[in-house]
Amino acid sequence: MLRKMVEKDRKRLKRKIHIRKTLTGTAERPRMTVFKSNRSLSIQVIDDSKGHTLASASTLEKDLKSIKANVAGAGQLGEVMGKRLIEANIKTVVFDRNGYLYHGLVKALADGARKAGVQF
């Protein structure tokens, strides 16, 4: 079982590196990256030219603890992140799925952010 998990993580990291070769965030269009674990979800919006995180949201935050790491919760977290981006005057981002398949939680996060008004 452990070997299977190590192999799964290795494949994801390989996909992540392949994606990041071409994907970069700028000040006008920062990169929105997703991380998911079994218990939590987190999103960051990063300006790669400066190396700064412009905004973030996570289910580990005190006021977002009630959001679960499921598809419905991912949609809610995406909406929260979208609202934070609109407040920070960021309208368009580049979506970095971080090696995960664009399916389930990752898709729900993206759809939630779109629903709040962020364009990809």
Burial of 80 (0-12, 13-18, 19+ CB in 10 A): buried
Give the chain's domain count: 1
Tokens standing for residue 53: 């995180």
- Whole-number Cα distances in Å, 74 to 24, 60, 93, 118: 24, 13, 18, 16
SS3 assignment, position 94: strand
For 44-101, what is each residue's pLDDT tens digit?
999 999 999 999 999 999 999 999 999 999 999 999 999 999 999 999 999 999 999 9
User: What is the span of the domain harbouring residue 40?
Assistant: 2-116
CATH number at residue 108: 3.30.420.100
Q: Considering the entire predicted model, what is its pTM?
A: 0.89
Residues 6+ apart with CB under 8 A from 24: 31, 48, 49, 94
